[in-house]
Structures are given as C-alpha cells and as structure tokens.
Chain A
Amino acid sequence: MQPSSLDELIEALRCLPGVGPKSAQRMAYHLLQRDQRGAARLAGALGHALDVLQHCERCNTFSETEVCQRCANPRRDPALLCIVEMPADLAMIEQTQSYNGLYYVLMGRLSPLDGIGPRELKLDKLIARAADGVVQEVILATNFTNEGEATAHTVASLLAPRGLRISRLSRGVPVGGELEHTDTGTIAQALVERRTV
C-alpha cells in the first residue's frame, strides 16, 4: 500500500535535526490545518533554494553565483584566508567588522568517532584554494571544541608544508570578563597559554 500524502509529509519532516515522529506529526498538522499559506511559502522557498544555491567555488559557502559576492569583492584582502566551520561562524566574524580578508567555510568539522574525516570535509578543495599563490596567511577560526581543535590541527599540518603562515584565533578570558565569574576550564587553559607582555 502506498503511504498517504500525510504520512509522506510527516516522514519527510523527520529529516530535520532534533525532530522525532511526534514533533513531525505536530508540524505537519500545523502546516496543513493552521497555516496553509506558510506551508506553500515553505515549499516554494525550499524548492527555489535547492534550485539556485550552490557552493561558492572559492569559499565553499552557499551562493547563487559560481563565485559569491564576498569573494568577488576587490576591496577585500586576498592574502588573508580565514577558515571557519559553518556559515554562521563567518557571519559572526563579519559582524566584528575587524576582518577584511577572505574566507573558506568547511561546512562541518572533523569528527573521527562519527566517521567524518578529510574525505568527507573535502579538504583537498581547501588545499587547492589556499595554495593559489595569492594567499599568504591562513587564520584558523574553527570552534574551540575538541572537534574544532582537531580540525584546526589537521588543516594546519596540511597547509604548513605549502609555505603558508598559519595562525589560530587566540582564546582566554572574554573581553570585559572578570576572573571570579569565568568558568574554571577557561581560566585553566588561559594559564597554560599565558603570554609574555
């Protein structure tokens, strides 16, 4: 027997992260009963995004053109390449308005126990991008989680032999932070990585 279109919709919604059978059912009823216009908009937007979005040839983030606007901007410094895990990280660094180089978005992180390795992250594409002869410094801005650290180390060891300067975002007590209210893990690491002034 073919599943009904309702079952099909519930099953499809379960592909979202953190959505189990119950929430999927609730979402489906909501879309069909309470917000049909929203449902049509969602369907249209999803289809359109799938049609037009691709990965930027240079920075790997989502883009509607082969090379995204940021990478095509001649006012950005092409000698600096900042490597981040996700587009949200890129947006955060952009918000600081203190970085004028280019980016490369990994679209994930190395996670050995989940089987996400260099092949799944397409690190060969990153190597080709960073070794274009124009990039001089690579800034590793992956997260300060264990997976982010493993990713940073891996990328560094792949790019260092190619004559690039490699730097890593520094970490420590947050700006405006007081030691008394900072978590012990951060203070412990700040002590290990203390710098001379």
Chain B
Amino acid sequence: MAFQPLLMDWSGGGEVKTLVRAEWQGGQPLLGGRALLCGYYLNELLVRLAAREDPHPALFAAYGEAIAALGRNEALVVVLRRFELLLLQELGYGLDLGHEADSGEPVQERADYVFIIERGPVPLGEIDPASIDGLTIVSGRTLLDLAARDFSRAETLAQAKQLLRMLINHYLGGQPLQSRRVLKELQEL
C-alpha cells in the first residue's frame, strides 16, 4: 500500500510493534509512470533523512500534498523542489534563503551569491576567486523566489535543483540515493 494514506493504530514499546488497526483512507489515485519514480525518490528522502518515531505533522501533510500533486500529474520538478525545500526546513536545517549570511541583510535581487552550507548565501564578491570552483552560485532573484516558493521562472528551477541537490547530498553524508541512480541509469539506456 505504498503512497496510500492509512489510519493506523499500534501498540508495543520496542522496535517491533503490534498493528492494532489499519484503515485505508482513499482518495489517492495510484501513481504511474514517471510520477511513480518521483514518488520513490520522495520516499527515499524521507527514509534516509528523517529520524524514526520523530513526528513531523507539517512534513506529513506536505508529503501527502506532494503525492497528491504527483497523482494529478502536475509539473513533477516543481513538486519535487517544493518538497525538498520544506523537508530541509522541517528537519531543522534552517535554510534562511532571504537573508545574507553573517550580516543578515536582505538578499539583493540583482546580486549573485554563493550558497555555503550551514552559513547561507554569501555575496559572490566576498568569495576568494581562487576557491570559486565547484561552489554553487545562485542569483539573488532565485533565492527570493525560493523564499516565496515561486517556481515560475526557468532559472529558479534550474538553480534550485543544483542548490537543493548539493544540500541534500551533504545531509545524506555522501551516501548516494538509489532512486536517483535508477533514474540516471534509465536515461542512459
């Protein structure tokens, strides 16, 4: 019953629980095609990044909405990016996208920034040009769009993909995601 909302009761204090009740809540069409593969990606993110028995009502609701949106075949990349952002925020990684690191000044729409993990957006001018290789550069406009959850610009989507991938890879501790590998292999066949 993956991707289906269930109302469950269980008992037991140890790791193995006893299922007392499970009721199918319905209303979620089965995922098919690419949306299904994206659903697996969301599941893997949750399994790998969220801690067991740590309730996150807002994350649960966002997951439900994301799966419903996949079921309606909405733009898949937007669904994924929206969920990734909320996931990182809910798990307490505190992404403050609208403010510059250190100074806390509002991000300038026309400036470019380097996003540094656990610090935030640093104005490109403050970075030593010799160490710029491999850093993730995003425009101020993208950061403001993301802070406002506005995915209507193509550049925002492209930069958000890079930024979120870098952050997620970091929090995964370098262990690659299986669902991402499968998608990549499919594109190579």
A binding-site residues for B, Cβ under 8 Å: 110, 112-115, 117-119, 123-124, 127, 146, 149-150, 153-154, 157-158, 184-185, 188-189, 192
A149/B44 in contact, CB under 8 A: no
Residues of B within 8 A of A184 (CB): 24, 26
Closest B residue, CB atoms, query A158: B189
Q: List 11 A-B contacts (CB under 8 A).
A: A112-B179, A113-B43, A113-B179, A117-B178, A118-B185, A123-B189, A146-B31, A153-B37, A157-B33, A157-B186, A184-B24
Residues of A within 8 A of B185 (CB): 117-119
Does residue B29 face the partner (Cβ distance < 8 Å to A)? yes
- The dominant DSSP class at the A interface is helix
Closest 5 CB pairs of A and B: A117-B182, A112-B179, A112-B40, A112-B182, A115-B178
B binding-site residues for A, Cβ under 8 Å: 1-4, 24, 26-27, 29-34, 36-37, 39-41, 43-44, 47, 178-179, 181-183, 185-186, 189
Identify which of A113, A118, A153, A185 contacts B189 (C-beta below 8 A).
Answer: A118
Assembled-state Cα–Cα distance A185/B37 (Å) = 20
- Tell me the smallest distance from the CB of A20 to a CB of chain B, in Å: 14
Assembled-state Cα–Cα distance A115/B183 (Å) = 11
Identify which of A123, A149, A185 contacts B36 (C-beta below 8 A).
Answer: A149
Residues of A within 8 A of B37 (CB): 112, 150, 153-154
Identify which of B29, B31, B181 contacts A117 (C-beta below 8 A).
Answer: B181
- Tell me the smallest distance from the CB of B44 to a CB of chain A, in Å: 6
